[in-house]
Amino acid sequence: MEEKNVLWDSLSVLKARIEEELDTLKNSKELYEFKNVYLEGKKSKLSELMKGMRELESDERASYGKAVNQLKEWAFERFAQMEEKMRELELQRRYESEKIDLSIPAEPARIGNLHPITLVRNQLIDIFAAMGFEIYEGTEIETDYYNFTALNTPQDHPARDMQDTFYLSPEFLLRTQTSAGQIHVMEKKQPPIKILSPGKVFRSDDDATHSPMFSQMEGLVVDKGITLGDLKGMLDVFVQKVYGEGTRTRLRPSYFPFTEPSVEVDCSCFECGGKGCSLCKGTGWIEILGAGVVNKKVLENCGIDSEEYSGFAFGIGLERTAMLKYGINNIKLLFNSDLRVLKQLNEK
């Protein structure tokens, strides 16, 4: 009798506990923990109650078993209700946390833009292409022959010191000038030749106006009767297109082994119009490129008859052009990829 009461009591105790516990569950993890402890498996509280049946007299077993089964049915039903409730609750929580307000104005999409060097490069290509120049892109690794020797700069020539070279081996180097492309073109093709060769060049040089890697654009024209006057005429058109009408050019004597005569080309200062300002350091002129009449020796090195043909060549530094155009005094600003700087330059 004693035994019986304890067992029957524990049925109602368990029922009350289940009811109570169910109310405290906060999420489905706790819900399934609850299921393991109370409802499912051999060690669950319900199974333990069922096991108690053995201790009962046989006449009582049937009604006790029935009561446990009823409790079990009830408990599973309550569990299913809770499970449903929890699912809804958690869905609700998820909706809350993932809620988006579709009426908030979107952040403006950031539109990319071309790098100032690319802009300058494209502009110059457009100008020269309109004059009939074809593009030739050489390679960044060159042999000593193409970069120097064929350009009338043999080993031990003092002009080699003008450019601090990165050698990869005694034979191979990173080209120091796009002039190397002149040789490739003239070796392959007889005049008339009219090419423009943009590309990266490399020199061991590093300060506010020099970078170990920079970009040049080489021009080469070879035909019958080409003179320095043709170069000057072409450059006049060029500077007016880049720096505005009214910009003038002047040629100053210079030296390059592969041109004779060689010139340094200045244009009248586009900031002050030639009166003198901080940009042109009071001179009224700004140096923009190196050029000259192709040295006969270079033509001969490429198998072109220097009696029949002549030509001119020029080399423009693109970073320098961009620095002048955008009014920046440190070349590193062009290479640091600082979006604030690049964005500002793009607005100019």
Q: Where are the beta strands (DSSP E) in 115-223?
A: 134-135, 141-143, 172-174, 193-202, 213-223
Q: With contacts defined by CB under 6 A, name the span among 38-46, 206-214, 312-320, 335-343 that binds ligand PHE.
A: 312-320
Beta strands in 144-239 (DSSP E): 172-174, 193-202, 213-223
- Is 146 exposed, middle or buried (CB count within 10 Å of its CB: 0-12, 13-18, 19+)? buried
Short-list 262, 232, 222, CA closest to 133: 222
d(CA 268, CA 68): 105
Pick 215 or 268: Cβ nearer ligand PHE: 215
181 binds ligand PHE (CB under 6 A): no
What does the buried/exposed string (b/e) look like for 188-209 if buried means 16 or more CB atoms within 10 Å of the residue's CB? eeebebbbbbbbebbbeeeeee
- Minimum distance from CB of 218 to ligand PHE (Å)? 6
Binding-residue total with ligand PHE (CB under 6 A)? 11
Among the listed ranges 42-50, 132-140, 285-293, 330-338, the one in contact with ligand PHE (CB under 6 A) is 285-293
Give φ, ψ of 328 to 5 degrees.
-115, 145
- If binding is defined by CB under 6 A, does position 315 make contact with ligand PHE? yes
| Per CB under 6 A, 147 contacts ligand PHE | no
Contact call for residue 259 and ligand PHE (CB under 6 A)? yes
Min CB(164)–ligand PHE separation in Å:
12
Burial class of residue 24 in the structure, from the number of CB atoms within 10 Å of its CB (0-12 exposed, 13-18 middle, 19+ buried)? exposed
- Give the residue closest to ligand PHE by C-beta: 315
Which CB sits closer to ligand PHE, 176 or 247?
176
197 near ligand PHE, rule: CB under 6 A: no
By CB under 6 A, is residue 256 in contact with ligand PHE? yes
Which residue of 280, 313, 324, 334 would you call a contact of ligand PHE, by CB under 6 A? 313
Catalog residues that contact ligand PHE under the rule CB under 6 A: 177, 179, 218, 256, 259, 290-292, 313-315
